[in-house]
Structure 1
Amino acid sequence: MTASTTRTPPADQAPPIEDEAARIAFWERQAGRLDWASPWHTAHTFERPRLLEAGGPEDEPRYTVPRIEWFTGGRLNAAHNCVDRHVEAGFGAKPALLFEGEPGDRRTLTYADLQAEVSRAANALAALGIGPGDRVVIYLPVIPETVVITLACARIGAVHSLVFGGFSSEALRFRVEDTGAKLLVTSDGQFRRGRAVAVKENADAAVAGENAIEHVLVVRRTGDAIPWTPGRDVWWHEAVDRASAVHEARPFDAEHPLFVIYTSGTTGRPKGLVHTTGGYLVQTAYTHALLFDLVEHEDDAVNDPARVADAVHWCTADLAWVTAHTYEIYGPLLNGVTQVIYEGTPQTPHPGRHFEIIERYGVTTYYTAPTLVRSHMGAFGSRPAPGQRPADRWDLGSIRLVGTVGESVNPEAWEWLRREVGAGTAPVIDTWWQSETGACVMSPRPQDPCWDSGSGDAAPKPGCATRALPGLSTAVVDAGGSPTPDGEQGLLVVDGIGPSAARTVWGDPQRFLDSYWRQFGERGWFLSGDGARRDADGDITVLGRVDDVINVSGHRLSTIEIESALVSHPHVIEAGTAPTADPLTGHAVLAFVVLTAEAAELDADALAAELRAHVAERIGPIAKPKHVIAVPEVPKTRSGKIMRRLLTQLFEHTTLGDITSLQNAHAVAQIAGITGHPSAEGRETAHVRP
C-alpha cells in the first residue's frame, strides 16, 4: 500500500512531524497484516476540534466536532479477513471455535465450517432484506451463532450492535430504537447458572413499541416453548441452515461503519460508539498478536507461524462486551488462531469450571476480568493449601500467558493469577483500554526482557498498566494540560490515538465532542475519563474513573486504592468503596465488602475495626472507611466495573440511577435489604459498622 499519503493538521496544532509521521508509518506497516481489495490514498486524517465561539459569561464555548479517518480510500471485507483468507491459505481444517455450553454440550467449528456458516447467514440476511448500512441488533448468549451472525453482518456491510443476553427488555429496547435496527437476532433462551433462562419474552417486549424492526431471527438454544409472531419471527434453522453456503464477500470502504457498541451507562444515557472497518481491524489484529505472544518483537508486522499454530486463546468476556469484539471475535480470527468460547458462568456446576476447560482444550492464553480472578480467590483461597490449588486438581500446564481487563487489577489478584494459573512463570498482561479506544492502549508485553528470568530486569509492577503500546501515546496531566509530577494523580489522556478509536457517537456527534474532546481536543488529546499517576520509571498506574474519587478533608483518595487495600486482607474476597456525605470531612469512605466463609464466624464489630486498621496501615489513617458493610456481591457492569454510584445511593437512601447495564442486578436488591433502602422489597439484617 505504498501509494498512501498523510494529511496532517495545521502546523500550529500538529505535533513534531517526525513523531507523527513515524507513528502513522508504523500503522501503515501493520495494515499489511490484512487483505485489501484496493489501497488507501490517505493514511490518516485528524481534524481537531476548533473553537467557533468563545461564548458569553454563562455559555459554553462552541467547537467543531473532530474528524478522524484512517486508510481513507482503502477497501476490504472484515469477514474475508477473519475467515476466507485462512481457508484460501490452506488452513480450512484448523479449528476456529471450540465451543462449550454451560450444560456440557460441545461443538468444534473449523475455519472451513465457519466460512460455510457465515456465508449461509449472509445469504439469509440478504433474503430478510438486510443490506449495507442497515443495523442489526444481536441479543444472544455466548454460542457459535453469535460469532456467525456478527461476521455475516460484516460480510454484507450491515452494522452490528451486540447486546448482553442478561440485559433487561428496556435496555434492549433503547438500543433497538437508538440504532433504528431492521433486524433483531435472539434465542428462545440461554443456559445460565445451571438452568434454562427465557430470552424471547424480553426480546418481544423490546420490539413492541415504535421501531424499525421488520424481523426477529430466533436461534433454538434451550428448546423451550416461546411466544411467536407470525410474519415477523423467523427460525434460524429455517432461514440460515437452509441457505446456500456460497457467498461472495464484497469489499467496503475502510471508514464504513462496522459496529455500534454502547457504553455501560454508569454515567447516564448509554452512548453508541461507532467503530469503522479498516482502522479497527488493523489495530485489533496487531494488538492481539502483540499481547498474546504471536510475534517475537513488538514492531513485527508478520506473525510467527509456529506460535499461531500452537495458540489456543480464551477471552472469557461476554461477546457483547468490547473486549470480546476485539479479543474474542475479530482479533483471534484475524490472526488465524483457535479459540475457546464458553456460554456459562464460571462456577457452574463447580468453582473449577474454568480450569476444567483450560485442561480440556489446552488453553495457552487466558484473558479475564479482575473480578473473576477475585472470584477464583474466594473459591480456592488467597493462599490455597497443598492439594487444594487449581493446578493440583487440573492440568494447567498449557498456559503460557495470562491477562486482565476491565478495571485495574489488585496486586493480590495479579499475583494470584500468575502464581496459581500461570505457574509463577507466565507473563501477565494487565491491559488498559476502553470501548472508545476500540483496542488496547497500555499494557506490559510478553516480549519484554523482564519476563525472561535470566535477564536480570525487574518484572512489571503488579496492578500497573506500565506504558503505551507501539504507535500510541498516553500522558498524565492536570486540568490545565500540564504534566503532573511523578506520583501525583492526574487525568489520563491519549495524546497519540490509534486507528481503532471510535469515530463518533451514533446520532449525536456533539456528545462525542463534549464527552471526550472538549477539554483537550485542540491539542489532539482524547480525554479517557480515568485518573492515573506516573512513577519515576515512567510507568502509569490507572486509578479508575475520575468521578470515582473520595474527597476526605481535601485529600483525594482513589476508590481502587482503598479497594485494593481491603482485598489484601485475608478475609476479604472483593470490595467496593464509594463516598458518602460527612458534615465534618466532606466525604467519608463507605466500604462494601464480600467476605470469606470463615469471616462469618468472626465478631462483626471486631472485623470491621480490623479492616479499618488494615486500610490505615496500607494507605494511611485518612483512608480508613467510616462504614463497613458486608454484602453477598457488589453491583458490577458486564465489563466487571463496580458501579460505585449505586453504593452511595443505596447507603444514603436516595433514588437509584440506571441499573440496566448491570450483570448482577439482583445484588442491588440484596444490598437494599441490608441498608434498608426504600427500594427493598424485604429486609435483611444490617451489617453496618459506623
Structure 2
Amino acid sequence: MSSFKISSFEEYQQVYKKSVDDPEGFWADIAGTFRWQQKWDKVLDWNFTEPNVKWFTGGKLNITENCLDRHLEKNGNTVAYIWEPNNPNDQTIKYTYRELYEKVCRFANVLKKHGARKGDRVCIYMPMIPELAIAVLACARIGAIHSVVFGGFSAHSIADRIQDAQASLVITADGGVRGNKEIPLKSVMDDALELCPTVKKVIVYTKIKTPAYMQRGRDYWWDEELATVGADCPAEPMDSEDTLFVLYTSGSTGKPKGVLHTCGGYMVFAQYTFENVFQYSQPEIFFCTADIGWITGHSYIVYGPLLTGATSVMFEGIPTWPDPGRFWDIVQKHRVTTLYTAPTAIRSLMASGLKHVEKKDLSSLTKLGSVGEPINEEAWHWFHDHIGKGNCPIVDTWWQTETGGIMISPIAGITPTKPGYATLPLPGIQPCLIDEKGQEIEGNGVSGNLCIKFPWPGMIRTTYGDHERCRKTYFSTYKNMYFTGDGCLRDDDGYYRITGRVDDVINVSGHRIGTAEVENAINMHTGVVESAVVGYPHDIKGQGIYAYVITEKTPSDANLMKQDILMTVSRIIGPIAKPDKIQFVSGLPKTRSGKIMRRILRKVAEGDLANVGDTSTLLDPAIVDEIKAGVIA
C-alpha cells in the first residue's frame, strides 16, 4: 500500500495547493492506492443545490477487503486491536488482522443465515468490546447498512432510530459495564423493540452473564450461532456510492437525523485523514478513547486505523474508574504512542489533580489529539505539559458526524500549533467564512460562519429517508456552500479557531444535543406546560444544559419535581441529555409572533445579566426581570 503521508510543512503547502487547483486529480491519486474490484468511471459529480454529490462513480469495492484482506499476506500477524477491559484485573485480549478477518467472516455468515442482505439496515447496540467492531465490519462485509446506537441511549431513543431506519435485524449484548455500573442492554432493547415491528431477528452476545429474556424465533445467542457457520465469506461487491452506514445525530429539531455515508468516498477519506493527521506508522500504538457509538469511533477506532494496518487500543471502561489514573495506566501498560481523547475527559482528569499522573510512565507517548469540541487553552497546556511532558504535538481536530473525518487540524509534528486553534485545513478541504449577508469574508483577522465550498470524499450524502431535511439543514443557508453550523475566527496567520455552534445545538462533552430534543422530553413530563433549553459554559463538559420550565402549578417540592424531570429526560433520551440546571419560571421571553428569544435566556444562563440586550420587542418584557431574579448560579 503506497502512502500519501505528508512529511514537512513545505510539502503540506505544496500538496494543499495541488488539492485546491486539481481536487479530482488529488483524490483520484489517493483512491488509486486502495483495492477496487472495478475502477471508477468518473471521479466526481456534484452540485450543492439539490444537493447531489457522487465520488468515484462506477467504482466497485468492499471496504472490509481494504480493512482486512489486503493486510493478510504481509501483515496478517500484526495486532489490529488490543482490547483493554473495564476492570483492570481482567485479561487484555489481542486480535491480529488474521484473527479479526476470520471472526468478521464468521459473524457475517451468521448475519446471512438470519436473512440479512445487501441494503438491509442492522441496528447495533453493544458495549465497547471487540465484538462491536466485528459486528460493524460483518455488516459491511455483506453490504448490510450498519446503524450503531451508543450504549447509553434509552429505549425510546433506540426505538426512534430503529423505526427511522426500518431496521430488520438487531445486534446487542445481555449487558455491559462502565466503571462500577452494569448496563442492562438486552432489557433496554426489549423495551425498544415493543415499538419496532420491522425487527425480525436479534443476535445477543453474552458479556456479563446476566439473565436475559430470549423470545423464541426472534432472539439468538451469538456464540451458539457462530458454531453453525464456516469462516469463508466473500466480500459483497459494493458500488462506491452504495450506503455504508447511517449514524444518528441530534439536530435543531426534536427528531434525530440519520447521517448517511457511502462506501468509496468515506473509505478514502477515513484512511487519508488518519494516516496524515496522526502521522501513523507501524509499530506505533494508537489509542482513541471514544465510543464506536459516535462518529469518532467509526472513523478512528474502526475504519481509519484498520484501513492503514494500524494497531489500536479499544477501551471498555471510563477514564475515572477505578481512579482518575486509568488512561495513564493504559498508556503505560500498552506503551501507547498516540492518545486521542476529548477536552471533557482532559478537564475532568485535570480537576482530579496531578497525583494520578505523577508516577505513571508516559514516555512512550509521541503525539496527542483532541476531538469533539474546541479545547480551551488551560486544558491544552495541562495536556501538553503534564501528559506530553512538553514533547508531544497536540492535534486539535475539527470535524463532524456529517464530514466523516477530520477537516481542519494540525498534522502531528508538522503544522506549527497554537493553543485553542484547529489551525489549517487538510489537503482537499476548502473552508471559507461567510458574513450575515451570505458574502464570503476574504483575508485574515476576520470571523464569520464556517462553510465548505467544495465537496470532499467523506461528506454526508443525505439524511436517511429525508433528503429535503439534508438540503435545508446544510445547503440552504448559503448558496453553493455546505454550512457547518459553527462560528469561526481566522486569525492574522490564517489559522482557524472554532468559536462554537450558531444554531440550536448544545455541545455537551463533545456530543451534540439538540435543544428541541431536550425540550420535547421535558414537556412529556406531566405537569410541565412548556420549556426552553440553552447551553451555558461548564468547567468540565464545555457546555452544560440549562432548562427554563413552566409548570401547571407551583411545585410543592421543587427539588422532587426537578428529579422527576431529570428521570423523564433520562428515560426518553438517555442520561447524557439531563439538564445541569432547572429553573422554574412563570413565562418565557417571547416576541409578539411567539418566538422564544433564546439569546436572552443564554445571557441569563451564562450569568451575564447586564447584557441581555433590548427587551422592548417582547410580548411581556417584565418576564425577563423575573427570570434574572431567579437565575441559578
How would you bin the TM-score normalised by the shorter chain?
Answer: 0.7 to 0.9
Question: Do the aligned partners of 1:184 and 1:216 also contact (CA within 8 Å) in 2?
Answer: yes
CA deviations over 1:92-133 (Å, ceiling 9, x no partner)? 111111011112332111111101100001110100000100
- Alignment correspondent of 2:85: 101
Following superposition of structure 1 onto structure 2, how do residues 223-302 of structure 1 map, counting pairs within 5 Å? 223-265=209-251, 267-294=253-280
2:195 to 199, 205, 209: 209
Q: Distance in 1 between matches of 2:535 and 2:578?
A: 17
Q: Distance in 2 between matches of 1:113 and 1:79?
A: 14
Q: Distance in 2 between matches of 1:18 and 1:244?
A: 47
Distance 1:34 1:19, change over 3 A: closer
Deviation at 1:249? 1.4
Q: Secondary structure at the match of 1:496?
A: coil
Question: Do the aligned partners of 2:109 and 2:230 also contact (CA within 8 Å) in 1?
Answer: yes
1:515 to 447, 466, 473: 473
- Alignment correspondent of 1:480: 437
Following superposition of structure 1 onto structure 2, how do residues 442-591 of structure 1 map, counting pairs within 5 Å? 442-448=408-414, 450=416, 460-484=417-441, 486-521=444-479, 523=480, 525-547=481-503
Q: Distance in 2 between matches of 1:447 and 1:67?
A: 37
CA deviations over 1:217-240 (Å, ceiling 9, x no partner)? 101000011111111000000112
Structure 2 regions of 5+ residues with no counterpart? Answer: 1-16, 510-514, 516-531, 552-557, 587-628
1:38 aligned partner, one-letter code: Q
Distance 1:591 1:134, change over 3 A: closer
2:131 to 145, 149, 164: 145
Deviation at 1:372? 0.5
- Alignment correspondent of 1:183: 169
1:155 aligned partner, one-letter code: R
Q: Secondary structure at the match of 2:195?
A: coil
Distance 1:352 1:447, change over 3 A: closer
Q: Distance in 1 between matches of 2:295 and 2:345?
A: 17
1:374 aligned partner, one-letter code: R
2:496 aligned partner, one-letter code: I
1:376 to 349, 356, 360: 349
2:98 to 112, 124, 136: 112
Distance 1:74 1:378, change over 3 A: same
Deviation at 1:658? 6.7
Q: Distance in 1 between matches of 2:78 and 2:405?
A: 26
Question: Do the aligned partners of 2:61 and 2:240 also contact (CA within 8 Å) in 1?
Answer: yes
Q: Distance in 1 between matches of 2:535 and 2:183?
A: 35
Distance 1:18 1:424, change over 3 A: closer
- Alignment correspondent of 1:619: none
Q: Distance in 1 between matches of 2:40 and 2:497?
A: 37
Q: Distance in 2 between matches of 1:508 and 1:394?
A: 50
Confirm whether residue 310 of structure 1 aligns to residue 278 of structure 2.
no
1:130 to 108, 116, 120: 116
Question: Do the aligned partners of 1:262 and 1:271 also contact (CA within 8 Å) in 2?
Answer: yes
- Alignment correspondent of 2:31: 31
Q: Distance in 2 between matches of 1:658 and 1:443?
A: 35
Following superposition of structure 1 onto structure 2, how do residues 322-471 of structure 1 map, counting pairs within 5 Å? 322-380=295-353, 384=354, 388=355, 390=357, 392-448=358-414, 450=416, 460-471=417-428
Q: Distance in 2 between matches of 1:269 and 1:96?
A: 36
Q: Distance in 2 between matches of 1:336 and 1:393?
A: 32
Q: Secondary structure at the match of 1:184?
A: strand
Confirm whether residue 46 of structure 1 aligns to residue 42 of structure 2.
no
Q: Secondary structure at the match of 1:310?
A: coil
2:200 aligned partner, one-letter code: E
1:547 aligned partner, one-letter code: D
Q: Distance in 2 between matches of 1:400 and 1:662?
A: 38
Q: Secondary structure at the match of 2:453?
A: strand
Deviation at 1:489? 3.3
Q: Secondary structure at the match of 1:528?
A: strand
Structure 1 regions of 5+ residues with no counterpart? Answer: 1-16, 50-64, 295-307, 451-459, 550-558, 565-576, 578-586, 595-632, 635-640, 679-685
- Alignment correspondent of 2:8: none
Confirm whether residue 69 of structure 1 aligns to residue 25 of structure 2.
no
Deviation at 1:676? 6.0
- Alignment correspondent of 1:174: 160
Question: Do the aligned partners of 1:268 and 1:658 also contact (CA within 8 Å) in 2?
Answer: no
TM-score (normalizing by structure 1): 0.73
Deviation at 1:339? 0.3
TM-score (normalizing by structure 2): 0.80
- Alignment correspondent of 1:609: none
Distance 1:687 1:120, change over 3 A: farther
CA deviations over 1:583-617 (Å, ceiling 9, x no partner)? xxxx9x995655xxxxxxxxxxxxxxxxxxxxxxx
Q: Distance in 2 between matches of 1:281 and 1:19?
A: 18
RMSD: 3.0
Q: Distance in 1 between matches of 2:260 and 2:415?
A: 37
Q: Distance in 1 between matches of 2:229 and 2:210?
A: 25
CA deviations over 1:517-561 (Å, ceiling 9, x no partner)? 01224x3x1000001111111111101101379xxxxxxxxx99x
Question: Do the aligned partners of 2:290 and 2:341 also contact (CA within 8 Å) in 1?
Answer: yes
CA deviations over 1:381-431 (Å, ceiling 9, x no partner)? xxx4xxx361x3211111111011111110111111111111111111000
Deviation at 1:659? 6.4
Distance 1:186 1:266, change over 3 A: farther
Deviation at 1:265? 4.5
Question: Do the aligned partners of 1:33 and 1:282 also contact (CA within 8 Å) in 2?
Answer: no
Structure of greater relative contact order (alpha carbons < 8 Å, 6+ residues apart): 2
2:63 to 75, 78, 82: 78
Deviation at 1:487? 4.2
2:497 aligned partner, one-letter code: T
Question: Do the aligned partners of 1:389 and 1:420 also contact (CA within 8 Å) in 2?
Answer: no
Q: Distance in 2 between matches of 1:470 and 1:374?
A: 31
Distance 1:96 1:19, change over 3 A: closer
Q: Distance in 1 between matches of 2:421 and 2:415?
A: 17
Segment of structure 1 superposing worse, 98-107 or 18-27: 18-27
Deviation at 1:371? 0.4
Q: Distance in 1 between matches of 2:81 and 2:572?
A: 28
Distance 1:84 1:593, change over 3 A: closer
Question: Do the aligned partners of 2:343 and 2:370 also contact (CA within 8 Å) in 1?
Answer: yes
1:467 aligned partner, one-letter code: L
Deviation at 1:346? 1.0
Q: Distance in 1 between matches of 2:71 and 2:305?
A: 12
Q: Secondary structure at the match of 1:131?
A: coil
- Alignment correspondent of 2:598: none
Q: Distance in 2 between matches of 1:76 and 1:193?
A: 40
Q: Secondary structure at the match of 2:499?
A: strand
1:22 aligned partner, one-letter code: D
Q: Distance in 1 between matches of 2:102 and 2:135?
A: 12
